[in-house]
Amino acid sequence: MVISRTPLRISFVGGGTDMKYFYSQMPGSVISIAINKYIYIIVKKRYDKKIVLNYAKREIVSSVSEVKHQLIKECLEMVGIKDSIEITSIADIPSEGSGLGSSSTFTVGLLNALFEFIGKTLSQKELARLACEIEIDICKAPIGKQDQYGASIGGLKKIIFHSNDEVEINKIPDENNLYKNLEDKLILVNSNIVRSASEILEKQKINLSENFERLKSFPHIVNKFEEDLSSQSFKNMYTQLDDYWKEKKTLVKSTVKNNLERIYDEHVPKNCYAGKICGAGGGGYFMFFKKENSKLDSEKYFNIKIDLSGSVIIYKN
C-alpha cells in the first residue's frame, strides 16, 4: 500500500498567463502558495486481477481500457499498471469547482502514488510535468500549467512559464516571519457556487484577442507583487490585489458575476483589506486578507497555513 498527500494551491496574481496561447508569445508568471488542505491518494494491491476505483463514484473493471475516469485511466497507462490495483481518493475539502486546483492536485498525487507503487521515485518537478502532459496534451483540458507545479512543489513561489515549455520555479524565502505573517491574514471563504473551470478557461481562449492586451500587463503585476511580498509591503499588495481583481473579473462574462461581486463586497472593505476569487473566476473559494479587528463569523471561513512539502509519500508498506 502507498499513500500520497498533495496540497491544494492558491495563486495570488498572474492567472491566465500560464496558458500556452499566452506564454508561447511572451513569458507568463504566477505567484502561488501550496496550502495545508490536501488530497490523499491510497493505492493498494488487490488479491485478484480487478481494477477498483473509489472517488465520487466507484468503478470495478477488468482492464484499463474500461476505466471511465479519464485522468485515472491515463495515469495507469503512463505508469504501465494493467490490473490488480485499488485506488481511493480522499479530499480535505469538497474539491469539485473549488478554484484551488483540485484536478491537477489529484493528478499529481495519483502519479506520485502510482510511481512509488512500482518502485520508482520521481522529482516533484517531473511529477508536475507529467501531470501537465496528461491533463493538457492527452486529455486536452483547456487549462494552464500553474496548478500542477503549484501543487507538486510546496511553499510560496513564483512560477515562470517559457515559450519552449520550460517551467522555472523561484522560491520566495521565509524571511522576517513572512510565512507566519501571511498565514495570520489569509482566509478562504466558500462562495458555494460551483462552476466548470474548463468552461471558463475555454471562453478566455476564445476571447484571446480581446483579453491579450489585459494579460500582457499581468507579468509586470506579478513582479511588483513579488517585490512587495518579499518586503512585506502589505498595503501595496492590497492595492495591487484590488486592481487585479477588478481587471481579472472582466476577462469572462459570467452569469454568476453579480453573486460573486456581492460576496466580495460583503468582505471588502468592512472586514477584509482585499481579496479575489480563486481559480478561473466562476465560483469556488475566495481568498481574502482579513483585518485584525474583523467581525466575520468564524464558521463562515477557515484559516490556512503554507504547506512546505508539496506532493509527498506519507506511507509505504
Between CA 84 and CA 17 the distance in angstroms is 41
pLDDT at 245: 75
pLDDT in tens, 159-174: 999 999 999 999 999 9
How would residue 213 be classed by pLDDT, with cut points 50, 70 and 90?
confident
How would residue 16 be classed by pLDDT, with cut points 50, 70 and 90?
confident
Neighbours of 122 (CB within 10 A): 16
Closest CA relative to residue 102, chosen from 121, 120, 89, 113: 89
- Where does the chain hold its CATH 3.30.70.890 domain(s)? 178-303
CB contact at 8 A, 229 and 158: no
Residue type, 97: G
CATH topology of domain 178-303: Alpha-Beta Plaits (3.30.70)
- Where does the chain hold its CATH 3.30.230.10 domain(s)? 2-172
CATH topology of domain 2-172: Ribosomal Protein S5; domain 2 (3.30.230)
pLDDT at 218: 86
pLDDT in tens, 126-154: 999 999 999 999 999 989 999 999 999 99
pLDDT at 198: 53
Between CA 63 and CA 70 the distance in angstroms is 13
* Grid cell listed for 60: 470495478
pTM above 0.85, yes or no: yes
What is the residue-wise DSSP string for 190-238? E------HHHHHHHHHHTHHHHHHHHHTHHHHHHHHHHHHHTT-HHHHH
β-pairing verdict for 28-45 and 85-91: antiparallel
CB contact at 8 A, 103 and 136: no
pLDDT in tens, 277-306: 887 666 789 999 999 988 898 888 999 999
Mean pLDDT of 49-78: 97
How would residue 83 be classed by pLDDT, with cut points 50, 70 and 90?
very high
pLDDT at 251: 56
More confidently predicted of 250 and 175: 175
Output the average pLDDT for the chain: 91
**Residue 259 host element (H or E):** helix 257-267
Q: What is the CA radius of gyration of the chain?
A: 19
Q: Is the pLDDT of residue 43 over 80?
A: yes
